[in-house]
Amino acid sequence: MKEALNATNKIDAKNLKAVILLDLSNVYERLNNIDSAKMYVQKLIRQNANPLFSTRAYQSMANLYLKEGNLDSALINAQKAIVISKNNNIEKTLSEAYDNISGIYAIKKDFFNAYKYKSLFGNKG
């Protein structure tokens, strides 16, 4: 996969590169190498991908921070995913982002916000 990533540097294929970066991040996450997974997501965020990939990147970053137990950073990234989804009318990722942020609030024991976002997810999902 790294060879494929290097090949995309030679052509202007942002969407292909975004898919590869997300895939690499997922592979490292499954290997429980969170730092490497975050590195690939950060590369995706820096490349200013289309809104769908940006939303996926921030959701992925939120999940990675969640795995580390860094709830505040997880929340910040989940909120960024919501903003991008709303601003670009991407219903599917907005629904996923609401569900994601609801779970983070529940872990933080902020049940008011957990319920609020879960309700929004229910209205979108």
Number of domains observed in the structure of the chain: 1
Give 45-101 pLDDT, tens digit per residue: 998 778 999 999 999 999 999 999 999 999 999 999 999 999 999 888 898 999 999
Domain that holds residue 94: 2-124
The pLDDT score that the predictor gives to residue 68 is 95
Q: What pTM was estimated for this model as a whole?
A: 0.83
Q: Is the pLDDT of residue 112 over 90?
A: yes
- Name the region of 35 (left: φ>0; alpha: ψ -120 to 50; beta: rest): alpha
- 15: domain CATH number? 1.25.40.10
Residues 6+ apart with CB under 8 A from 31: none
* Residue 79 vs residues 4, 5, 49, 59, 110: alpha-carbon distances, Å: 31, 28, 18, 9, 15
The pLDDT score that the predictor gives to residue 56 is 93
Give 1-52 pLDDT, tens digit per residue: 666 556 555 545 778 888 899 999 999 999 999 999 999 999 999 987 789 9
